[in-house]
Amino acid sequence: MKEIYRSFEGNLGAGESGYYVLELVDHYEVHELSTRMGVPEYVFRVSKSAVENPDWTDLYTIGKFETEVRNGSLDGQVYVKGRWYSSESIRKIQNSHKDYNWQAYI
C-alpha cells in the first residue's frame, strides 16, 4: 500500500476537506476527509483494470469514479457501515430488491 496522491499538505484545518489516494495491488483506494461537523470519512476503491491512467488531481474524475462505484456500474468497492461492498454485491442487492438504493437494504 503506497500513497500516490494527496490533495492537501499536513493536516486539514477547521472546516476543510481533502482526499488522498493509495495504490493497492489491484485497486486504487480513495479516502475523502472533512473536518466539518457531521461529515463522515468516505472510502472507496476502484479497480485498476477499470480505469486507465486516472488523473487524481481532477475532482470531476474522482466524483465520477465514486458515483459509478457506489452505483455498481464501475468495478470497485465501497466501505459502508464497517464493511466493504463490491460492485457485484451492490448489483445483486439492487436486483434482488428491484431498487437502485441498495444502501437501504444493508
* Residue at grid coordinates 477499470: 50
Q: Per-residue confidence at 104, pLDDT binned at 50, 70, 90?
A: very high
pLDDT, one tens digit per residue, over 47-64 is 999 999 999 999 999 999
Question: Which strands make up the sheet holding 2-6, listed edge to edge?
Answer: 2-6, 17-23, 27-34, 42-47, 76-80, 83-86
pTM comes to 0.89
Instruction: Kindly report the three-state secondary structure assignment for every residue of 33-97.
Output: EECCCCCCCEEEEEEHHHCCCCCCCCHHHHHHHHHHHHCCCCCEEEEECCEEEEHHHHHHHHHHH
